[in-house]
Amino acid sequence: MGGPEVERLIGLLAKLPGLGPRSARRAALKLLQQPEARMLPLATALTEAARAVRPCRLCGNLDSHDPCGICGDPNRDRTLICVVEGVGDLWAIERAGAHRGLYHVLGGTLSPLGGVGPEDLSVTPLLRRLGEGEAREVILALGATVDGAATAHWLADRLAASAVVVSRVAQGVPIGGALEVLDDGTLSTALRARRPA
């Protein structure tokens, strides 16, 4: 069907997150039907991104500049470092525009079952950054899962000896969330973390 080039294209697209063989076939067809308008610009963008984008040597963000745009921004609050699990989390917080400090991408969470130990995470670079003295607070913005919480506790222990304040993002009722449809865990956590009105 369409020759080996098409099969290879479909095979590669099907490996992307969110795409299975069927949706990869649809995407490939769309690209092949408009090669000038869609396929060649996409190929150029992929090539340029693959050549230019690298992990930032300071925070681990993906950017075409090193240090990345966030680390290199003089208007950022350099006393605040938000520790996130992955680049996707960093981008999510940036989208929200709620954090004006710096970031540190940990590269995962501790998972004995998955074979992820402390040596597999970007902890030493974080400690080195903290040792350089500008940071006053580290915000642990890790997932609300057992592995995320275990990693946060472990990191908080490691950072306890340093001079920085260690905080964690809150958990609770999401904006627009009706209480009756919330899961038990979120509800009980929100109630425990209540604050004066």
Closest approach, Cβ 75 to another protein, in A, equals: 33
The only residue of 119, 132, 183, 194 in contact with another protein, by rule CB under 8 A: 183
Q: Token pair for residue 27? A: 């995407």
- Which residue, 67 or 108, is less far from another protein as judged by CB? 108
Q: CA 108, CA 102: separation in Å to the nearest integer?
A: 18
- Which residue, 61 or 151, is less far from another protein as judged by CB? 151
Closest approach, Cβ 188 to another protein, in A, equals: 6
Strands 137-141 and 101-105: unpaired
For tokens 């899961």, what's the residue? Answer: 183
Of residues 74 through 93, those in contact with another protein by CB under 8 A are: none
- Told to check if 38 binds another protein by CB under 8 A, we report no
Distances in whole angstroms, Cα of residue 62 to Cα of each of 38, 71, 86, 109, 148: 24, 11, 10, 19, 22
Distances in whole angstroms, Cα of residue 112 to Cα of each of 37, 118, 146, 155, 193: 47, 10, 12, 16, 29
Closest approach, Cβ 70 to another protein, in A, equals: 26
Of residues 111 through 150, those in contact with another protein by CB under 8 A are: 112-114, 144-146, 149-150
The only residue of 4, 17, 74, 133 in contact with another protein, by rule CB under 8 A: 17
- The site for another protein, by CB under 8 A, has a size of 20
The only residue of 7, 157, 162, 165 in contact with another protein, by rule CB under 8 A: 157
Closest approach, Cβ 114 to another protein, in A, equals: 8
Q: Is the previous residue joined to 35 through a cis bond, with omega within 30 degrees of 0?
A: no
The three-class DSSP label of residue 152 is helix
The three-class DSSP label of residue 32 is helix
Q: How far apart are the first and last CA of the chain?
A: 65
Would you tell me the crossing angle of helices 21-33 and 4-14 to the nearest 10 degrees? 130
- Which residue, 125 or 148, is less far from another protein as judged by CB? 148
Q: Token pair for residue 170? A: 């809150």
**Window of 61-69, 81-89, 129-137, 184-192 that interacts with another protein by CB under 8 A:** 184-192
Sites of contact with another protein (CB under 8 A): 17-18, 112-114, 144-146, 149-150, 153, 156-157, 183-186, 188-189, 192
